[in-house]
Amino acid sequence: MGATLAELRPVRVVGVGLHPYQRSSETTYVDLGLTAVRGALDDAGVAFDAVESAFTATVNVGFAAGRTMLRYLGATGIAMAQCENASASGSTAFRLACLEVATGVCDVALAVGVDKLALPNMAPSKAGVRDLLGSRLLPFTHFALLADAYLHRWDLPPEVLAHVAVKNHRNGAANPFAQRQKVRTLDDVMAEPIAGVLTRLQGCPIGEGAAAAIVASDDAIERLGIDASRAVTVASSVARSEQLVGPGQNWDTELTRATVGAALDAASVGPDELDVIEVHDAFTIEELLYLEAIGVCPPGEAGPLLLDGAWDIGGRCAVSPSGGLLAMGHPLGPTGLGQVAEVTRQLRGEAGVRQQPGARVGLAHMVGVGAVCVVHVLTAP
Amino acid sequence: MLRCRRCGRCGALAFPPQHYGCEACGALDAERAEELVAPVGSVLARATVQRDVFGHAVPYTVVEVALDAGPVIRALAADERGAGLVIGGRVGGVLAPNGERRGDDDVLALVVTVEGFGDPGGDPNDRAAVHGAGGSGS
């Protein structure tokens, strides 16, 4: 086994920035990305020439996205690389930036996620392995199957799932960076069935946007005069991929259980200590399954606890306070970095009307097609 | 019958078949052999699709089945609304038109049906009862 992040030198998030997630527009990806990066530089109070390494996460922009965008911050000659890891691309770019700082390869690293709307150029369909359903098995249907099994197992009505969307749309309505900023009623959410019990508003919108984070060592924080009282610690970073599971088990859930378990262990944090969780809630059923896999409650109880307000801002643990993928949106490359931005603001106490009171420990969780999973635990300054 | 691959090194039975290697242990395909499996098993989950972005006629129902032989498959249900499919119920696969056309011909594929595969034996608290449990308030 290699070292965990906690065994290397400390890594702090010193700056975060976003371009609002939104429907497809004429805005170039360069404008989207630069807005987020300049926001993160301003937030950190550093100039671009302090950054020594940059990872650009994108799924749809294409070949050579990083330098084409970052050149307009001044050509400083730094290391640049592009990172694609399905829906976990932004989380992976953040992890790579953290690892460079933790290992001492550099003192200040940037991770930026940026994307425009397009039909992704997907590898799985190129493997030549034909299943029985082909294009009939879209993500909506995959998660509708999980929803059917879950509701049946725990004898719950479909409205429980819809309440996940009601909560996350309420949070998104208070987030100026969210693609969906409208409060939705239970009736709104239950309308427009797509697959099984899942309705249109129980699936995330995919559009465009950007998110960025700057991570730094303590040496750099001191040398550059960065405000250490706003620097959030990256307590752990864990990435894993799918293993085979038995009938009736779900690979995304089991992968989440393994990855989060390792991330909490590495950070020496228990699930009951989490104040804020940004979870991969691309579909409502995922939030309940992943909360149980994270271990914040026993299996079957995430839904009833949701109805009791346990996952609201101000509840036991704020889940998807940004609005999550369901309301903030899922522009692919930026998504994982948008989670880091939200958790960072929460742990600094700078989340405004979405602030979880007294938030000290946060977790950001993404899964991606493959399946892959990337989890970070962050702790307050 | 479903064409699966049985690994001679670890025993894993895989569907769909492919020649790349064993997902369980990494054995080369040369160490694996074809095994024909009866497409018979129990329903794990169902989903009736009402909106389709690729132009398939809706509704159609997708069903996840744990085959008695081990693999879990997902296939089209013979009934477009999945009538008779209950979680835990017995089902089987038959070759039938899957609603697509190739030239002038129907495309035949494995579709899942309850017809002829015995007593459902599923949980009597099925879809209607569970979903009729009512709203949980708003």
**CB–CB of B74/A137 below 8 Å?**
yes
* Planar angle of CA A88, A94, A95, nearest 5 degrees: 85
* Any B CB within 8 A of A289 CB: no
Q: Could you tell me the mean pLDDT of each successive run of 10 residues in chain A, 381 residues long?
A: 91 98 98 98 98 98 97 98 97 98 98 95 90 91 97 98 98 98 98 97 98 98 98 98 88 95 98 98 98 98 98 98 98 98 98 98 96 98 95
Q: CA A220 to CA A73: how far, in whole Å?
A: 20
Find the residue in A nearest to B127 (Cα).
A152
Q: For A229, which DSSP code?
A: G
Query: Which pLDDT score is estimated for A43?
Result: 98
The greatest distance separating any two alpha carbons of chain B, rounded to the nearest whole angstrom, comes to 58
* B106–chain A nearest CA distance, Å: 16
Nearest CA in chain B to A156: B130
C-alpha to C-alpha distance for A24 and A52, rounded to whole angstroms = 32
Interface confidence (ipTM) of the complex: 0.93
> What digits encode the pLDDT tens for the residues B40-64?
999 999 999 999 988 899 999 999 9
Reference A378, options A232, A214, A231, A221; nearest CA is A232
DSSP A353-375: GGPPTT--EEEEEEEETTTEEEE
Q: Is A228 on the interface with B (CB under 8 A)?
A: no
Torsion-angle region of A352 (φ positive above 0: left; ψ -120 to 50: alpha; else: beta): left
pLDDT of residue B127: 36
- Chain B residues with beta carbon closer than 8 angstroms to that of A148: 45-47, 87
Tokens read off for B106: 């129907």
Query: Mean pLDDT, chain B, as a whole number?
Result: 85
Show residues of chain B in contact with A189, CB under 8 Å: none
- Asked if A302 has any chain B CB less than 8 Å from its own CB, the reply is no
Whether chain A has a CB inside 8 Å of the CB on B30: the answer is no
Indicate yes or no: CB of B123 within 8 angstroms of CB of A130: no
Place of tokens 């079957």: A300
Low-confidence ranges of chain B (pLDDT < 70): 118-138
Model-wide pTM > 0.80: yes
Instruction: Identify which of A352, A379, A370 has the alpha carbon closest to the alpha carbon of residue A88.
Output: A370
Interface test with A, best of B40, B42, B65, B74 (most A CBs within 10 A): B74
Strand residues in B1-138 grouped as ranges (E): 2-7, 13-14, 32-37, 40-49, 60-67, 72-77, 90-102, 105-113
Q: How far apart are CA A155 and CA A144, in angstroms?
A: 16
> How distant, in Å, are the alpha carbons of A120, A202, A243 from that of B23?
25, 32, 9
